Structure 1
Amino acid sequence: MRTLLPALCFALIPAVAAAADREPVAGSGGMVVSAQQLATDVGVEVLAKGGNAIDAAVAVGYALAVVYPQAGNIGGGGFMTLHLADGRSTFLDFREKAPSAATATMFQDKDGNPVPSRSTDSWQAVGVPGTVLGLETARVRYGTLSRATLMTPAIRLARDGFLLGQGDAGVMALEGPKLARDPEAARIFQPRGRPLTKGDRLVQADLAKTLALIAAKGPDAFYKGSIGGAIVAASAKGGGILARQDFAAYRVRELKPIECEYRGYHVVSAPPPSSGGVSICETLNILSGYDLTAMGFHSAAEVHVLVEALRRVFVDRNNKLGDPDFIANPIAELLEPAYAAKLRATIDPERATPSATLGPAAPAHEGKSTTHYDVVDAKGNAVSVTYTLNDWFGAHRVAAGTGIVMNDEMDDFTSKPGSPNMFGLVQGAANAVAPGKTPLSSMSPTIVLKDGKVVLVIGSPGGSRIITITLEAILNMVDHGMDVQEAIDAPRIHEQWLPDTVALEPYALSADTRRLLEQRGYTFSDEGHWGIAEGIALGAPRLRSLAGTMSRFLSLGAPPLAGATMFGAHDARGGAGSAAAVR
């Protein structure tokens, strides 16, 4: 799920650390935030016509498959966290699954060594997609409008095409060489023998026909009909292992979300096969023993305890979690306050803990080319969705005649315990490949409540960094008083146990703070910006007001729009997206 984006793919934000942030988008009739403004507009249109947040989320999901083909998808899968107007919270798992012919050693050579390209750049990398059944399950159980109504905007955008902006064109150029290797992908995304550029129109006629067939006949057209058949045929032709029975057997799981408390807020997030909710809540439990507000945003004291907490949590994440149908996840143990206290007691107040001294020597990896979107409506429904192809454009393969970009989600499994994946994660046997199994994910669609009411909907792409992006946004709002836009735009840090290095976005630490932390034993890696978070705050743009804080990100700014109750924020790191309110 790649979102370590190059400059040509998103709006650079060198002024984030120095200038006033943009104000969140304010409204009261409903709010949609996504990584592509055309998809955001589709969601707003559905809300304006009387659809609820679930209806809008389904429509946005299909629209992103057209206008954000690098990560939006019907050839991949994902997660949906919901909080309903009647007070219930639930979670839909429509993640990809391993084909029935998959084996634990399928991505190793004859000597047992991992073959990375096999799990990322081949038809063997493709897992059974779940998005179509996932979106339909959400619509049938919790939506109000017809499938045809919700899919019509996506069909129109695919059939008639849309003009590419700079953010859209940037990723086309970045992935151009890989797309050129697949004739079907090249025919769609390089119709004149070169990557499409800003101002070009992307028309996807085959995808329009595929979407129209799904709209007319439902998921059976995909899982039991000609669409799935075309994907299986393309897989067989390309040396893959997908079978018709894999599609017919696919099921969506509705699961109980992971829930925890943090400083009076109730966090609702993704359960296994996502590691996101467990990791976020385990980290919050550890950090609840420290006064982060007094420490200050990204002070040496705060970064020390944050990194040490994350270091310990990722040991658990990488070695103890997996598909709940295949392993027993020790969730109750990991989320016990006593366990958090035990981990907290192992943190040296002054020195960094070498990662090699924690846990077994096994890291984990995960693709970063994911996308996230949020929807809330005036009725009190809130939806947080993260779905993915894994890498940008997944396996860079399109099934002939379908227009569907296929995922390379099999790379999220442990190809070999102890060997890192494309995102540097080193994972254990709990996430080994097995027929019908879902790979472990970091996707963390999250909803935060206060006194039973939704106050924040948040999430991001970013591979293993999804966990820290979402976590830091919550900390920025709860502990540092930032509004939702400031919390998302603030520079980020990341630690995932292995490698034993703290990654830094530009301006994440001052020179003095960095020196203090280096003296404590930390090693840093300077990187570009990562992630494209999306958030909606409810009730007010801030969760709390911290009088007297010296955070450079906290400026009270102009008063919110009179009567506004929803405040949407699209990450400054993503140039193509937007937040929009129902007018």
Structure 2
Amino acid sequence: MRDRLLAICFALALTAPAAAADPEPVAGSGGMVVSAHDLASQVGAEILRGSGNAVDAAVAVGYALAVVYPQAGNIGGGGFMTLRLADGRATFIDFREKAPLAATATLFQDAAGKVVPGRSTESWLGVGVPGTVLGLETARTRYGTMSRAALMAPAIRLAREGYVFGQGDAGIMALEGDKLARDPEARRIFLPHGRPPARGERLVQKDLAATLSLIAAKGPDAFYRGPIGAAIAAASARGGGIITREDLARYKVRELKPIECDYRGYHVISAPPPSSGGVSICEALNILSGYDLGAMGFHSADEVHVLVETLRRVYVDRNNKLGDPDFVANPTAELLDPAYAARLRAGIDPARATPSSRLGPPVPAPEGHSTTQYDVLDADGNAVSVTYTLNDWFGIHRVAPGTGIVMNNEMDDFTSKPGAPNMFGLVQGAANAVGPGKTPLSSMSPTIVTRDGKVALIIGSPGGSRIITITLEAIINMVDHGMDVQQAINAPRIHEQWLPDVVSLEPFALSPDTRALLERRGHKFSDEENWGIAEGISVGAPRFTPGPRTGAGFLAVGGAIAPGATMFGAHDARGTGGSAVAVH
């Protein structure tokens, strides 16, 4: 929904990505940063040009995005970081928001048990305990090399001195201006002249600069146990929310083992629960490994049929079996078992679509599109993929007074009531019910793919429940269809998530003939505007060697390759203002 409106506002005009020539990926050899805002990408590249590694750059980019991409970049939200270090270690940092201790399973229902519209998305009750500050600091202290003050200095400068709006900045602010105007603090900061800033005007965020300066000097305690947290708790109480200073003081980051699987000679490293992303991507790849997608052809009737039928089954499991691992016994081993994939594959009729009503529980049990993704690779081979979010654009569209911090509405990612869809249409089960101290299930899927022990691809995207399919399709496009990383990201997308029983299509995703063939097989389609803003880095060459049975090696083909280039960055053409920045 949000991505559709943003696509219209920004006039992205990915009108015919399959027919138009995609630009070559940005080439480099000394490092690469790709993010949704050029200023943040430049900040990360400057860290890599100095003494910093990929983790240092990722921390700096995260704070910079909180300033220049306030609709999704944040310190008032949370997210995930997947790391694959130069020595071969892989790990995952979960800094997702958590439910306050006063949260209950019926928090968003009225006395009659009906979900109250807006309670989880537009009020302080929708705010989860933020994790970004502690998450970035955890990554820095465990895997970075530079001081917190040095990494935060660029963000502080951008907040204090301001930055000049581009068209993308002005577009999102105009889109969200009416909602921001409802909150006095948000209105004061983001509508300084009584209207959203226009292209070429400067946005200064002095309160946020002071907040960031305090964190730089005092560390996470300033946020979780000090004056910043106190201001957030006070604002929550005044607004009818339930976040307390105790909730903030108790917040902890988890470092977890990533989800890993193999696909046609490539090794996939992705997000574990409380993300559903890694499990869903690997479950899908396991099923699809039984088909020769390359021979079928990109978005042919046969390929789309098996992809949709795979996704239909994967999302049944995603929506009903997964949740916070501290509260739910996730059946990860079963879902990733090749034998389980074979059973699901055997149930796919090659000639007919399966009605979603035939799958899943008799009474079935969306997450924010407005997230942001960024990727970093350094010269030593350290790779970082980060997805973090406020959920909706600008979260609840409220700012804790005196802090400059935009607050999330991540509580909407819980199951407000089993069987009732969330803001993105996901129909989920009791495993993801609201609970005190619990982390809501996510689709965020920061992913790293390796080949022969070396990083081959860093990929991820915003898009709510569609993050999984965006990331999955990018991998398939490269491994099975031989696209370079820019083509793989720009290619038109399809999406199916079990319920509603409809296949969403971006413009030009299917030819009329292909669509007619699929409709005769029983598939139902919904035409939509473009969604997601993926970011990717391929390593070794812009594209993988086509060859669905072997997935062997790399092949540098298509366009002029910069001499000595070993890494290739791609920012999604659906998003204005972002960039891939190379270090040479």
TM-score class, shorter-chain normalisation, is: over 0.9
Taking structure 2 as the reference length, what is the TM-score of the superposition? 0.97
Identity percentage of aligned residues: 78
Q: Deviations over 1:513-537 (max 9, x none)?
A: 0000000001100000000000000
- Aligned counterpart, 2:43: 42
Does structure 2 retain, via aligned residues, the 8 Å contact 1:3–1:461?
no
Match of 2:305 in 1: 304
Structure 2 residue aligned with 1:331: 332
Cα separation, 2, equivalents of 1:488 and 1:348 = 29
8 Å CA contact retained: 1:394, 1:406: yes
Which letter does structure 2 place at the counterpart of 1:521? G
2: CA distance, partners of 1:490 / 1:233:
46
- SS of the aligned residue for 1:116 comes to coil
1:415/1:432 contact within 8 Å kept: yes
1:63-212 paired onto structure 2 within 5 Å: 63-212=64-213
Which residue of structure 2 aligns with residue 550 of structure 1? none
Distance 1:508 1:239 in 2: 45
Does 1:503 find its partner at 2:510?
no
- Residue type at the aligned position of 2:168: G
1:25-64 map, 5 Å: 25-64=26-65
Q: CA deviation at 1:12?
A: 1.9
Q: Which amino acid aligns with 2:562?
A: L
Whether the aligned pair in 1 keeps the contact of 2:543 and 2:557 (CA below 8 Å) is no
The CA deviation at 1:555 is: 11
Alpha-carbon displacement from aligned partner over 1:12-49 (angstroms, at most 9, x marks no partner):
21131211110000000000000000000000000001
Is the alpha carbon distance of 1:433 and 1:221 closer, same or farther for their aligned partners in structure 2, counting shifts above 3 Å? Answer: same
Residues 259 and 2 from structure 1, CA distance in 2 versus in 1: closer, same or farther, beyond 3 angstroms? Answer: farther
Alignment of 1:262-281 (within 5 A): 262-281=263-282
Checking the alignment, whether the CA contact within 8 Å between 1:3 and 1:463 is kept in structure 2 is no
Amino acid at match of 1:479: D
Q: Give unmatched runs, 5+ long, in structure 2.
A: 549-554
Q: Distance in 2 between matches of 1:431 and 1:362?
A: 15
Counterpart residue identity of residue 246, structure 2: Q
Query: Is the 1:2–1:463 Cα contact (8 Å) retained in structure 2?
Result: no
Q: Report what 1:370 is aligned to.
A: 371
Give CA deviations for 1:32-74 in whole Å, capped at 9, x if unaligned: 0000000000000000012000000000000000000000000
> What is the alpha-carbon distance in structure 2 between the residues aligned to residue 361 and residue 192 of structure 1?
54
How many aligned positions are there? 577
> 1:336-351 residue pairs with structure 2 within 5 A?
336-351=337-352
Provide TM-score, normalisation by structure 1. 0.98
Residues 334-371 of structure 1 deviation map (CA, whole Å, 9 limit, x = unaligned): 00000000000110010000001100255672111100
Provide, for residues 148-198 of structure 1, a one-character-per-residue CA deviation record: whole Å limited to 9, x for no partner: 000000000000000111111111111111101000000000011111221
What secondary structure does 1:78 align onto? strand
- Secondary structure of the structure 2 residue equivalent to 1:476: helix
Cα RMSD of the aligned pairs, angstroms, is 1.3
Tell me how far apart the structure 1 counterparts of residues 522 and 157 of structure 2 sit (CA, whole Å).
56
Task: Please name the residue that 2:468 is paired with.
Answer: 467
Change (3 A) 1:82 1:12: same
Quote the offset at 1:541 in angstroms: 0.5
Distance in 1 (CA, whole Å) between partners of 2:142 and 2:363 is 40
Correspondence for 1:551: none
Q: Distance in 2 between matches of 1:555 and 1:256?
A: 33
1:74-114, CA deviations, whole angstroms, 9 ceiling, x for partnerless residues? 00000000000111000000000000000100100111000
Contact 1:9 / 1:168 at 8 angstroms: preserved in 2? no
* Cα distance in 2, alignment partners of residues 365 and 481 from structure 1: 32
Structure 2 CA distance for aligned equivalents of residues 367 and 261 of structure 1: 29
Deviation at 1:560, TM superposition (A): 1.1
- Cα deviation, 1:268-301, whole Å, max 9, x if unaligned, reads 0000000000000000000000000000000000
SS in 2 for 1:567: strand
Give the match's secondary structure for 2:198. Answer: coil
- Deviation per residue, 1:538-559 (Å, 9 max, x gap): 0010121469xxxxxx994323
**1:26/1:179 CA distance change after superposition, 3 Å:** same
Report the counterpart of residue 457 of structure 1 in structure 2. Answer: 458
The answer to whether the 8 Å contact 1:364/1:423 transfers is no
Which 5+ residue runs of structure 1 have no aligned equivalent? 548-553
How far off its partner does 1:200 sit? 1.4
Contact 1:8 1:166 in 2 (8 A): no
